Amino acid sequence: MQIHIRPFKISDAAELQSAVLQSVGHLGPWLEWATPRYSLGDARHWVDESRALWAKQLAYRWIITDEESRCILGSVEIGQSATGVGLMGYWLRRQVLGKGICTQAARAALDYVFRSGLFEQVDLYIDPLNAASLAVARKLGAELQGEKADGISYRGVAKPALHLRVCAKNLRAQEGPTYGPRLLKPESSRGLTAENETVASVYDFRRSLKNARQ
C-alpha cells in the first residue's frame, strides 16, 4: 500500500471520528482521548486546532491517507516542546496495523521538518510497555536518552516514559532504497501510540536504558 501525508482539512472531521472510534481498543491504553465517547465535535475541534497550530508554526499535524482511496489511516504530529526541540506522536486506525505504515508516515514527517529547517532534533516520550510504538521509534533511528519519571500523563496521572531522540543523520541512516518522494509527499499546510508491527523487542531499549544508568 502506498501512502500519503498531508495537513488536515476541515472536511476530515467525520472520517477522523470514524477512524478513532474503530481503533479505541488499541489506542485507548495509551491515548486518553481515544474513547467510545469521541464525538464529531471532538474531531472538529482537533481539525480546527491542527490548522491553527500549523498556521502559527507551533505544531505540524498530518493525516495519513491511502494514496489511491484517500481513506484516513491515522495521523502523525511534530510539535514544539518547551525547550524548542521537536516532539513527535503518531497513531493508526485498527484496520491497517502491521503494514509498516506508521513508520513510513513518521519518516516522511521527520524528513519534512529536517529538510525545512524547522527542527534539528525530534524527541519521543513513550510508555515502556508500549512495545509497538517503541518499535516504530527504533525503525526511525531514534536513540535512547534515558527514562523520565513524569515523561507522559494519562488521565491526569504522571507516568514514566522512555525518552528517545531522532536527528537528521540518524534518519538518513535508516532510510531504505524504496524511500523517496514518489512514496510519500509531505506538504505545507500529542499522543504517543502504537502500530502493531512485529519487530525487535522493547527489551533492546531496556538493556540500553540499564547501560545508560550505569
- Residue ranges of the alpha helices (H) in 56-129? 101-115
Question: In this predicted model, what pLDDT tens digit does every residue of 123-145 receive, in sequence order?
Answer: 999 999 999 999 999 999 999 99
The single-letter code of the amino acid at 181 is P
- Residue ranges of the alpha helices (H) in 101-202? 101-115, 131-139, 168-174
Phi, psi at 64, each rounded to 5°: -100, 125
The CATH number of the domain where 77 resides is what?
3.40.630.30
Phi, psi at 122, each rounded to 5°: -130, 130
Cell of 116: 525545512
Question: In this predicted model, what pLDDT tens digit does every residue of 80-127 receive, in sequence order?
Answer: 988 889 999 999 999 999 999 999 999 999 999 999 999 999 999 999
Distance CA 134, CA 126 (A): 7
Full domain range(s) for residue 141: 3-213
What's this model's pTM, rounded to 2 decimal places?
0.80
Total domains, the chain:
1
